[in-house]
Amino acid sequence: MNKTVIKELQKLMALCMEINEKTEHDVSFEIYGFVKCFEVRVAENGWSQTNPSIFITDIGGEKITLPNINKCRQKLLKYKEW
């Protein structure tokens, strides 16, 4: 994985953490390094058994590429409320 991809993944993870801290939404971010995939889920207004997370990435994850990271970031930005 090149340095640019790593930096963009770090920015995406930071965005997930910011949304967790500054909104009522719960975001999870996972990296599956052994298959070079990542996964992002959001529970709008907080996770509960009656309000499960929705997948921002494809179920099972997205390949770690710049276009997929950027696509995920754009979807996540709608949850940024500040």
Closest CA to 42 of 32, 62, 56: 56
Closest CA to 13 of 2, 27, 24, 26: 27
Q: Which is more confidently placed, 33 or 10?
A: 10
Closest CA to 57 of 42, 44, 40: 40
Mean pLDDT of 1-14: 94
Is it the case that residue 11 has pLDDT exceeding 90? yes
Report the predicted TM-score, pTM, of the whole model to 2 decimal places.
Answer: 0.87
pLDDT digits (tens, 9 = 90+) for 16-62: 999 999 999 999 999 998 899 999 999 988 888 888 788 777 756 88
Using the 8-state DSSP alphabet, how is residue 79 labeled? G
